[in-house]
Amino acid sequence: MKFNIAVLPGDGIGPEITQQSVKVLKAVADRFDHEFNFEEAVVGAAAIDQLGDPLPESTLELCKNSDAVLFGAIGDPKYDNDPSAKVRPEQGLLRLRKELGLFANIRPVRAYESLLHKSPLKPENIEGADMVIFRELTGGIYFGKKSTAEDGRSASDLCTYSVEEIERVAHLAFKAAEDRRKKLTLVDKANVLETSRLWRKTVTEIARQYPEVKVDYLFVDNAAMQMILNPKQFDVILTENMFGDIISDEASVIGGSIGLLESASVGTKNALFEPIHGSYPQAAGKGIANPVASVLSTAMLLDHLGLKKEAETVRMAVELSIKLNVCTNDINTDNHYSTERVGDFLESVISDTEGHIVNNENLNLGQMTII
């Protein structure tokens, strides 16, 4: 099968982690007889530096005409530290989401048995944790009208939601819950916010269409606490844009590293796949960035294209790398591997059509010894 993939490396560590994902996709193509056509484009700070626009029209058109978008990272400290900047890298990503109609962000979170000790949470609290967070992505306060008083002493951000915006992401979350453990948790702030009350009313009505799914409701402050105290209680979480942004980042501590968490942003026609971590500019070019979140995002990309077996092969390669401790410094502090070496390992495992186990003893010598 033939697919066109738009590759947007972005800023910071984005280019080096995306390079490993492309490497993995090429290995998948070779093993399963597919053809992936990759075309790169600039976005974020890199695009501002080159073209003065965080999302050039050429980049947007490439994404619209591709089967999927593989995204790296976005952001640069020179904009973070300048509150007066009118053009920012993040504007490119927000506009891209809006233009592509990517209304739902999907973030799986799991606790890996061999990495329980890496989490700051108690192992007994997180062992077996496995959830998916559905975050509405193109509405709410991030996209509402924004204003600052002329004297600069007050500002406002408008949070608005429609029933239609809530329904379309809610249906995706309920369908996912039907295929999992049949439990959905709506996270809102319905005791204070009118938009949250609309979310709760709409989700309650939709729930009648999914009688096998148990629904419960948590205020966002309690949900943030429960994520630390007892994350195993969650199966599918559904929430609005800003709450989802915060809750999903908090959930990253369960896996032991934010460098392990993938995500998909989907709409009716387009889909974008990216790691949830930021651009981490301090690590750019040093070979220490963890590529696993990007590679797992690639597995979600393969799922989206209907290549389920290929996606599972990528996930099995990642699980083997974690089991054998072929990991970057955030996971393996004693004998860590570079970004590129982890990518090389994953590529080799995927290319191993005989299904042999890689002999980790010789990896330091740069040898892939098959037993």
Binding-site residues from annotation for substrate: 97, 107, 135, 221
Q: Is the Cβ–Cβ distance between 316 and 266 less than 8 Å? A: no
| Catalytic one of 189, 210, 235, 337 | 189
Q: How far apart are the first and last CA of the chain?
A: 32
Instruction: Determine whether 11 is an active site residue.
Output: no
Q: Determine which one of 79, 112, 142, 161 is catalytic.
A: 142
φ/ψ of 279, rounded to 5, equals -80, -15
Q: Which of 67, 214, 245, 323 is catalytic?
A: 245
Active site residue 79: no
249 catalytically annotated: yes
In the residue annotation, 130 being an active-site residue is answered as no
User: Is 235 a known active-site residue?
Assistant: no
Say if residues 274 and 222 touch (Cβ distance below 8 Å). Answer: no
Identify the active-site residue in 146, 175, 221, 308: 221
Residues annotated in a binding site for Mg(2+): 221, 245, 249
Annotated binding site: 97, 107, 135, 221, 245, 249
SS3 sequence, the chain?
Answer: CEEEEEEEEECCCHHHHHHHHHHHHHHHHHHHCCEEEEEECCCCHHHHHHHCCCCCHHHHHHHHCCCEEEEEECCCHHHHCCCCCCCCHHHHHHHHHHHHCCCEEEEEEECCHHHHHHCCCCHHHHCCCEEEEEEECCCHHHCCCEEECCCCCCEEECCCCCHHHHHHHHHHHHHHHHHCCCEEEEEECCCCCHHHHHHHHHHHHHHCCCCCCEEEEEEHHHHHHHHHHCHHHCCEEEECHHHHHHHHHHHHHHHCCHHHCEEEEECCCCEEEEECCCCCHHHCCCCCCCCHHHHHHHHHHHHHCCCHHHHHHHHHHHHHHHHCCCCCCCCCCCCCCCHHHHHHHHHHHHHCCCCCCEEHHHHHHCCCEEC
Q: What is the C-alpha separation between 165 and 45, in angstroms, rounded?
A: 30
Catalytic residue numbers, as ranges: 142, 189, 221, 245, 249
